[in-house]
């Protein structure tokens, strides 16, 4: 059985663990032919697929202008391309739609809720790039603030 066959079998058995980029598109915007969105609370941005730096930065700059009213991704008219491009990373990731947080029980005990569960319940998602060899991994490009 191939890796993709195994992944399909797992996804049929556990649909809440299905990992497809198409499930992320309702939360994303398409700019310059690249699907992008902000993730987390620090201003990090992701794009579906591995893209050439200038194209993906153009898409990231567009979402920064449209969603946040920034001049560009770093909100600095004098920002140099090389400095901004240094924070680009090409990764393999998977979509997480069910809580897998190792601190789940501890968070519930200490806070009364699990942050992961709350964000997933509200229709959010998690993108995990800790295991690039995961059978459900797909390519993304990230920029970290």
pTM: 0.75
Predicted confidence at residue 20, as pLDDT, reads: 67
DSSP per-residue codes, 74-92: TS-TT--HHHHHTTEEEEE
Predicted confidence at residue 40, as pLDDT, reads: 78
Which residue ranges in the chain fall short of pLDDT 70? 1-20, 101
Predicted confidence at residue 112, as pLDDT, reads: 80
Cα distance between residue 43 and residue 61, in whole Å: 12
Predicted confidence at residue 19, as pLDDT, reads: 52
Cα distance between residue 9 and residue 73, in whole Å: 40
Predicted confidence at residue 59, as pLDDT, reads: 97
Predicted confidence at residue 89, as pLDDT, reads: 96
Using the structure block, give the residue that is written with the tokens 């059985």. Answer: 1
Query: What b/e readout covers 6-17, taking b as 16+ CB neighbours within 10 angstroms?
Result: ebeeebeeeeeb
Predicted confidence at residue 14, as pLDDT, reads: 39
Predicted confidence at residue 4, as pLDDT, reads: 38
Cα distance between residue 62 and residue 138, in whole Å: 23
């Amino acid at each position: 059985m191939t890796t993709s066959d195994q992944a399909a079998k797992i996804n049929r058995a556990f649909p809440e663990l299905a990992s497809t980029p198409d499930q992320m598109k309702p939360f994303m915007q398409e700019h310059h032919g690249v699907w992008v969105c902000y993730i987390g609370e620090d201003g990090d941005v992701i794009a579906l697929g591995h893209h050439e730096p200038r194209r993906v930065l153009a898409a990231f700059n567009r979402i920064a202008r449209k969603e946040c009213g920034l001049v560009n991704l770093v909100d600095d008219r004098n920002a140099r391309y090389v400095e901004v491009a240094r924070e680009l990373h090409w990764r393999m990731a998977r979509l997480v739609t069910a809580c897998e947080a190792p601190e789940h029980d501890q968070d519930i005990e200490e806070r009364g809720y699990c942050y992961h569960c709350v964000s997933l319940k509200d229709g959010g998602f998690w993108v995990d790039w800790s295991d690039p060899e995961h059978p459900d991994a797909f390519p993304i490009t990230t920029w970290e603030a």
